[in-house]
Structure 1
């Protein structure tokens, strides 16, 4: 057994019980195999000799065959029960571990990989528990019982089996080592695909805002294709190994059968003994042949068990990929769409806009009209659910109005190339999505071709450079999913650094200071005020820290706009 298998036996009681039951059942099965072969040989020998076949041997033979069928059913039922118990035990241990694991211990692990492990991954243990373990116990018991009986019946045939029997595990081990490596790679690719896909889906709005969704479509496709190729390579090796094992077993049986036939013709062996040998010889090799096939079926389960214990031991997994900001790409303009206007001089306007979500009885926005002049700073205030975030989504082009128009310099956003428009807009959401890549790559999402110096300059402008440099690997520190390992204020400053790096003329901010402690709020406010300077900005604000820096404060209530109020203080930003 491998170390991981021995640990499974130690830490999962259901598997220890299953191994005990399988050994006892294998011993009973071996006895029934020998009994069936002896009874069948006796019935056939009497028939060929012209003697009347008595009812007692036939009844005994039928009883033995029925017992073998019952034993097979019982072994399968117990194996299924053991597999379910083992998976439940490991799932409970993993979830318990994750509940008590701090975010810093998950900095390189993705929820998608963990979800893949808890579902598709642990299900891969079924072939190991249901097929491999019972087969291995049969391999240890059945050949010994068969060879012992044959040694008492015909020691010459038993000697041939003893000599040829080791050939099957030798060839199986040679092919099996290669299969284990390929299966481990196949599982790693599947886990990476699951983690990366979930990360991309969770961050899809962010990718769309920065025009990176097309690149990720290709990345996911490439990862899926890599998993497909790895799976096919593993299957090819498995099929090759089956051919090798079946060929070796067939030749070994032939080495027994040919001398038995010659001795029978020469009168050195009686028919009953010859038939018994011929019936039992394949049974001696059968468990080893089945073990070879079961090994390939269970190889993925072994790889999954290693991953499970890596989590339980608190080890960081492999980084699941390049998150949302891989290699550079140029997004082609959508066919038939107008070019985006210059955001520095564009006037944004909502004209009698109504938005109605299917799952809400009342409209999110109702007949809303609003004009934002170039360079103006507008603050949106109001209770949660009033429609403020929906208004920002309209300006981003993420939401289409049910009625009315959203325009930029007089051109409906629906007629603009969305990728070109998103180059003019920087968006900082209330809960920014950070990908499971390095801090620098998360900032570089604002402009993928930016150099290291530009990334550091953007971090300084966002007041993020100090805490980034204190991380274990500085800008190269790999974050966990959703920025695990960083505080809410630190994540917000990373998002502001993206916006600084993008340097877009239109800025949309969705409650950038929400859920922050006073110190973080002050740092984010300073960075946000600097970011707004010289740009058109629409800010959703629950707190008052940004209101003094707005030219207009507009209250949104129940999907409508209340008459604009003058700013709390002078609207122009202090220089």
Structure 2
């Protein structure tokens, strides 16, 4: 998916979250600064003790106080380092929670209709792995960059009055390290973005392969697909090695420049000591602090890849969050509490690619009745349900509930009054009771049993090892297709909504399961306005009213008996399917 021209740069987008972590980053920076001050004190104590004991022959009792003072300094530095790391980690964790919530919330607002056109593995990779990659940027990279500016400055200020030559060498050589690192790594951003794009494609392809493994096996295509996944994996390996090559090269350059700079300081200190131009104490003090001066700059090389990794991960997140999502509807009208009449008035819908799904579609679903919508695949039946469920918004026309326009109802108010049973009901990992309570979390066990009994699901649920507490695997592993569908019907019944939407509820079921599900549907349809979308004509025995669609238009509608006795499209449909009158 290509990025729109007006999308923000990934790093600009990453920096937009800095206000959320500014306070913990400031605390981390202050702790690091205190650590730097203690580091200077530690170096001075060590230098003074060595100078006094070695050069001036001072007895141990005269330098004991300096040696004793080093112990609390060591402890304090250790505590400050750990606390600073903890504070920085908390900042990264807060961003991680916020970002994951933002991504999931935006994906929910985009809705199922948008998700159908996306690679699920790519989205999972962004929400899980991509968000994890951002943590290092805020928890390690940003604090290290701030310490790179502050701690060397503190050390240089401390060394300047003791040995201005060493301080000058430090200040002159320090900018060279980030400059050369930038020169080497300026192409790394594109490499990291390429790496994440390859990883996203690999994730999507691998998930598709796992989900379609049965089909691949039956068609003898599993080896071919494995070869494709292996090729994509190898592309990812090469991309990763390119990134690592640049990362290692930048680290080597940093180490080399830092080592050479420390050596220059040491050589100049040594010669000036030999020539008598520098006292031992300030020379040793400068020499002890030289490695510490360059340490933050060297650390910058070890965390610079975290910035590149975060930029690569952020590219896809920016694309997702920049997708325009429909604003949530917050109408003031109350949803009907009794079964309403559903009236579709000149309803039209066109998909972004120009496909016309509905074209001035008009019909009425009577209150308290089962209205079956039939037609060939692509006639617009599922689009009707998506409009009712507010996955999409109509291009033109309106849907009315009695005298209320659906557009005047808020999403929450309307969806509380709707129950939905799809073709393939989704069963989440959890217990049977957890899956039943999705639409009514406060339902007690008696309510669960009553709903299950009404749809004929109580028998097989009670036969499970732990009854209603039996854990189910993803997608209902452990249950048959008919059992999953009856579980979905019980879930819909438990919600007790006045409007029931059924999308091919008997699809993918054997004849015996179909009869059981249809019998359960007949029971739960009583007193509700039911819209039954189907192209399976055996389900029409439930219908009081029938709507026949073709190419997004209503070509015939009316009572079941009337259409069956006529000579219109519905009668021809029954005759072609050899359904007895």
For the residues of structure 1 that align with 2:128 and 2:58, how far apart are their CA atoms? 61
* Pairing 1:33–2:39 present: yes
- What is the match of residue 42 of structure 1? 48
DSSP-derived class of the 1:124 partner: helix
Measured in 2, the distance between the counterparts of 1:363 and 1:63 equals: 71
Going from structure 1 to structure 2, the CA distance change for 1:153 and 1:107 (only over 3 Å counts) comes to: farther
Distance 1:263 1:520, change over 3 A: farther
User: In structure 2, what is the Cα distance between the partners aligned to 1:390 and 1:250?
Assistant: 76
Residue aligning to 2:199: 190
Matched, 1:387 2:510: yes
Segments of 5+ residues of structure 2 without an aligned counterpart are 1-7, 326-475, 484-503, 515-531, 553-569
CA contact (8 A) 1:87 1:123 kept: yes
CA distance in structure 1 between the partners assigned to 2:477 and 2:93 by the alignment: 41
Is 1:155 the counterpart of 2:274 in the alignment?
A: no
Q: Which secondary structure does the structure 2 equivalent of 1:101 belong to?
A: helix
Do the aligned partners of 1:154 and 1:277 also contact (CA within 8 Å) in 2?
yes
1:549 is aligned to 576
Give the superposition deviation at 1:301. 1.7
After superposition, the CA RMSD in angstroms is: 4.0
TM-fit CA distance, 1:212 = 5.2
Match of 1:568 in 2: 580
Contact 1:12 1:86 (C-alpha < 8 Å) held by counterparts: no
Deviation of residue 70 (structure 1)?
0.5
- Cα displacement (A) at 1:216: 2.9
Shift of 1:386: 6.2
Paired position in structure 2 for 1:130: 139
SS of the residue aligned with 1:311?
Answer: helix
How far the C-alpha of 1:291 sits from its partner, in A, is 0.7
Where do residues 146-545 of structure 1 align in structure 2 (5 Å cutoff)?
146-204=155-213, 213-314=222-323, 359=478, 387-388=510-511, 522=550
- TM-score, length basis structure 1: 0.56
User: Contact 1:151–1:158 (CA<8 Å) still a contact in 2?
Assistant: yes
State the 1:9 CA deviation: 4.2
Q: CA separation of 1:81/1:203 partners in 2, compared to 1, >3 Å: closer, same or farther? A: same
The size of the alignment, in residue pairs, is 367
* 1:52 aligned to which of 54, 59, 77: 59
Cα distance 1:222–1:509, how it changes in 2: closer, same or farther (>3 A)?
A: farther
CA distance in 2 between counterparts of 1:281 and 1:545 reads 92
Residue of structure 2 equivalent to 1:24: 30
Q: How does 1:47-86 map to 2 (within 5 A)?
A: 47-49=53-55, 50-53=57-60, 54-86=63-95
Whether 1:110 and 2:141 are equivalent positions in the alignment is no
TM-score, L = length of structure 2: 0.56
Work out which of the residue numbers 21, 42, 48 in structure 2 matches 1:15.
21
CA deviations on 1:419-460 (whole Å, 9 max, x unpaired) are xxxxxxxxxxxxxxxxxxxxxxxxxxxxxxxxxxxxxxxxxx
Distance 1:382 1:39, change over 3 A: closer
Aligned to 2:360: none
| Matched-pair contact (CA < 8 Å) for 2:481–2:509 | no
Contact 1:94 1:312 in 2 (8 A): yes
Inter-CA distance 9–180: structure 2 relative to 1 (3 Å threshold): closer
Higher relative contact order (CA 8 A, sep 6+): 1
Distance 1:91 1:45 in 2: 56
Shift of 1:172: 0.7
CA deviations 1:296-320 (Å, max 9, x no partner) are: 134212222333232222279xxxx
Instruction: Work out the CA distance in 1 between the residues paired with 2:167 and 2:42.
Output: 18
Output one character per residue of 1:280-308: Cα deviation in whole Å (capped at 9) or x when no partner.
11111111111111011342122223332
C-alpha distance after superposition, 1:175-219 (max 9, x if no partner) = 222322222211111111112222343445666677655543322
Task: Indicate how the Cα distance of structure 1 residues 234 and 520 shifts in structure 2: closer, same or farther if over 3 A, else same.
Answer: farther
**How far 1:225 sits from its partner (Å)?**
1.4
Residue deviations 1:360-415, cap 9 Å, x none?
A: 59999xxxxxxxxxxxxxxxx99789634999xxxxxxxxxxxxxxxxxxxxxxxx
Instruction: Verify the 8 A CA contact 1:105 1:314 in the aligned structure 2.
Output: no
Instruction: Write the distance in 2 (CA, Å) between the matches of 1:314 and 1:155.
Output: 57
- Counterpart-to-counterpart distance in 2, 1:238 and 1:184: 15
Q: What are the superposed Cα offsets for residues 304-344 of structure 1, whole Å, 9 maximum, x if unpaired?
A: 2333232222279xxxxxxxxxxxxxxxxxxxxxxxxxxxx
Deviation at 1:101, TM superposition (A): 1.1
Task: Tell me how far apart the structure 2 counterparts of residues 256 and 111 of structure 1 sit (CA, whole Å).
Answer: 56
Give secondary structure in 2 for the equivalent of 1:51.
Answer: coil
> Shift of residue 35 of structure 1?
0.8
1:164: Cα distance to partner? 1.0
> CA–CA distance in 1 between the matches of 2:550 and 2:270?
94
Q: Can you list the C-alpha shifts for 1:515-553, whole angstroms capped at 9, x where unaligned?
A: 9x97775569xxxxxxxxxxxxxxxxxx999653346xx
Counterpart residue number, 1:563 = none
Look up the SS of the partner of 2:118 in the other structure: coil
Q: Judge conservation of contact 2:28–2:84 (CA < 8 Å) in 1.
A: yes
Gaps of 5+ in 1: 317-356, 365-380, 392-487, 494-507, 525-542, 552-566, 570-575
